[in-house]
Amino acid sequence: MSRRIAVYPGSFDPIHNGHLDIIERCRPLYDEMIIAVLANETKKPLFSDAERVEIIAELMAGQPECRVESFSGLLVDYMESRGARVVVRGLRAVSDFEYEFQMALMNRRLDPNIETVFMAPADGYSYVSSRLVKEVFQLGGDVSALVPKLVERRLREKYGKAAR
């Protein structure tokens, strides 16, 4: 039987507890999970793709069924290169729906073999986004319940001592 491989793509700039919650929920459902970090410098990420991959790899240590890679170009092409058919995306709120629905249908148009699976995070994370984590941290707010310790440390290194 072929291995069930799920790809969880995203910017992950940086990864937060809502993302980790989705990974935890997906892990038992698939034989392998690839966390695919979009390498797109035009989005001007705070963390380079190498840094984002490094952070996630450290967080996934000890979970051999999860691996992390960066990708560029079309997601469907990357998926084909990995023999994966399932895209996993978190749906936090209705506001996410339109964008996610568009992407799911476009990906299906590009490759009819691809299916998108939407997962709801724990309700405590429904408002958490990488953008807000960065903004709150930069302005001195407490993000300790929203990101792992490692990410908090890396944010501190990026923003310097002025932030928390």
Active site residues: 19, 43, 92, 130
The CA distance from 159 to 136, in Å, is: 12
One residue of 5, 57, 103, 117 binding ligand PNS per CB under 6 A? 103
The CA distance from 142 to 44, in Å, is: 24
Question: What's CA 139's distance to the chain center, in Å?
Answer: 24
The residue nearest ligand PNS at its CB is 10
Please answer whether residues 65 and 93 qualify as being in contact, where contact means their C-beta atoms are separated by less than 8 angstroms.
no
One residue of 8, 9, 15, 52 binding ligand PNS per CB under 6 A? 9
Binding residues among 12-71 for ligand PNS as defined by CB under 6 A: 38
Is 74 near ligand PNS (CB under 6 A)? Answer: yes
Please answer whether residues 35 and 60 qualify as being in contact, where contact means their C-beta atoms are separated by less than 8 angstroms.
yes
Q: Footprint of ligand PNS on this chain (CB under 6 A)?
A: 9-11, 38, 74-75, 103, 106-107
